[in-house]
Structure 1
């Protein structure tokens, strides 16, 4: 959004500039892709491993950009727009986002965690928009580029902002939370994602705990109290003065907890929560979603929302795609959970799969990336765990998923096949949809398992034309 004048942006960055004829002109929006620039934008050229955004500044101006950040070590600044000179364009993007965030009068909520942060963001937005002008991170814009762009996309009219923060290494959450400056911070959980970079679950927990570094005084910290490793990581942090700390989980030791009666059907899940007098229903799948809902209900209550508004929001959640999306195909269903994968999320997806009262269940599993030196063991352990589930067929694809297949065979699963190509796998499972069944498709984003879902949709639709 950033409806600020060029002159104001220069002051926010304390930057040098090349004189322009109309410094009072308003900037409406920030863009880092010259092809997507629109009238009134500020273009910020980012330097990547294989490209330099400075090379496309002229195109951005042709598209309508009225101002351009320009790194001082680059020659030949463009003409036709205000040129704001900075030492480093990516640093300037972060600094501008920080200053802009500080100019906004709103409640800022920051969310991080190994699993569930996107679902938590979606649930929370569904609740809060019933009462407040609410904006949230779009898609997966949760890194050092996406978070500043999310902040700069907030409107002056926004009352509550929900910002998702991801990481691959230590101190990345530290940097992001200092930009976001949350009034409320949520840590959904700690899992094995990015184990390759961080080396241990303890280091992952410490990286997630960095969210408190940007938490405002008298803020609120909500965290998964069922994980001792996370409790220890937070215990080692110095919390801002006046922080209210609440844990959530499924047992009564927590400050916030759900208690039983969690059920799932084709319409979604239902549950009881001690924060609500009535049972709640959500139009999402997976009993693990109750854990994601708990901090959202608490926040909604803390911000003065009624139970009726909360129940309405829970019943109508608009989820980010590829996360336990249930698609009816042929005589069966596909449960598309192909956005990410690690041991915890695979087991949660298998739980969800087996909660459907459908006569035949097929698990299609691919590699869990970024598992580091423990990758073979983790994949094998997931395969062994398959022996505990009432699953009729297991199909695997990917180099590491060979070990899932081997673990499943050793656990006594009868029908296990490893496929060398996606094409062979998707052809093999297509005929399953001729009879009542449900297929779970699960894998890390880099494995692009959503292409299997796309193939199955296209083939089934073509058969019925």
Structure 2
């Protein structure tokens, strides 16, 4: 059972949970629910399994598997009641809509802990870093629950919320959306007291339609009843966000602090006369830290508490995380859009480096009709950088490869649509002293290259190209 699924702390039975999620409980028993699961493979003794219907599979197809793992109860739609009763021996909770039932349970569960100040974080990028930094500060003030990893969707948020308990004082949750209406459902569940928007970019524009619609939908995090709302001064859609908000938004910017660039070691920050170091690489991640500082200040943290909380802070894997060995790898593979890609390319280009700078770029997904233009823009940025070798992967990156020379890029270029070929070429050309940047959308899983790159120098001598 994962920490964020510790609903066992509430000692709820299936019959009691039915009253919290608009369900009818068939075959009630006295077993305590120990965890909430959406994946049948993760079920165990005491689990409550929500049989959600996905694009490719229906959770009701795995009820026998769940039963074999000794789950305590399942939540199924009305159409699957007979199947559930025949293939599952525990309690069966019947609902009209399984997803809505999950949301109702999370909402009811959170209301049990009215002492918690919940903080919602959204934006096109920077959510995870901002969330982690806020949680660090909040933890100095009191017991804090937070979104684990990237569980930030309308499925991940309710799972994250089950980390709340009677001791929790703060909850810090990511609220990531990729379609219209999703923020409204997430806000209804969490009803955050404090909300922060990092920025608005082109992520998910394919589903949303335009950056303005993205801004309007993310702005709905600033709901009625909010205590305070925060937004970065660098956000281009502040007016759209402010129009939705019911109170003046609190702005934050890099000018709120003094920062000395330490390169791949991060930043030395001076805040209200106190210095501390964070291991976030790039100005975009530094801005996320500033947002967390402003929220922490609002929560009542003093400068000493903020400095103590953030000393040595580093981002999660995939968010400009630095792997240092014989080869240095900046893993920024968790996500990619034109703004974040341009930012990290320019930052690392300005970095002094003795060895060879190499970049592996994969496609930026969900950009719709704007994709060709966006990938050409990345090519223009790359052409003006100091990266000496560029490895481009994926169908969308063909647009970048086609125009790179025309934009004046003089380095070595490899383009392929085959990941195995990419891995082979990168491995073969890796040398000690190299600096690699890995950047692509999450679905590409570009971090798969890391073991291959790191192992490439095992039997090679130092070589600075």
**Matches of residues 121-270 of structure 1 in structure 2 within 5 Å?**
121-213=131-223, 216-217=225-226, 219-228=227-236, 230-237=237-244, 239=246, 243=247, 245-250=249-254, 257-259=256-258, 261-270=259-268
The aligned counterpart of 2:83 is: 76
* Structure 1 position 357, deviation (Å): 2.5
CA contact (8 A) 2:284 2:340 kept: no
**Partner-residue secondary structure (3-state), 1:129:** helix
* Structure 1 position 238, deviation (Å): 5.1
1:402 aligns with 2:398: yes
The aligned counterpart of 1:393 is: 389
CA distance in 2, matches of 1:70, 1:111: 31
1:88 aligns with 2:83: no
Which residue, 98, 116, 120 being the options, matches 1:106? 116
CA contact (8 A) 1:193 1:370 kept: yes
Of 10-19 and 164-173, deviating more is 10-19
CA distance in 2, matches of 1:21, 1:361: 62
**Matches of residues 317-356 of structure 1 in structure 2 within 5 Å?**
317=313, 319-330=315-326, 332-356=327-351
CA distance in 1, matches of 2:29, 2:124: 49
The aligned counterpart of 1:41 is: 47
CA contact (8 A) 1:283 1:314 kept: no
TM (normalized to structure 2)?
A: 0.90
The aligned counterpart of 2:3 is: none
Q: 1:205 to 1:59 in 2, by over 3 A?
A: same
CA distance in 1, matches of 2:191, 2:143: 19
CA contact (8 A) 1:384 1:410 kept: no
Moved over 6 A (4+): none
CA distance in 1, matches of 2:209, 2:150: 24
**Partner-residue secondary structure (3-state), 1:13:** coil
CA distance in 1, matches of 2:308, 2:261: 18
* Structure 1 position 21, deviation (Å): 4.2
**Partner-residue secondary structure (3-state), 2:421:** helix
Q: 1:95 to 1:335 in 2, by over 3 A?
A: same
* Structure 1 position 437, deviation (Å): 2.6
**Partner-residue secondary structure (3-state), 2:110:** helix
The aligned counterpart of 1:254 is: none
Deviation track 1:76-122 (CA, whole Å, cap 9, x = no partner) reads 33353222221111110111111111111211010000010011111
* Structure 1 position 446, deviation (Å): 2.0
CA distance in 2, matches of 1:462, 1:437: 15
CA distance in 1, matches of 2:19, 2:137: 37
CA contact (8 A) 2:14 2:29 kept: no
CA distance in 2, matches of 1:445, 1:353: 21
Unaligned runs of 5+ residues in structure 1 are 252-256
1:8 aligns with 2:6: no
Alignment size in residue pairs: 447
The aligned counterpart of 2:449 is: 452
- Aligned residues: CA RMSD: 2.2
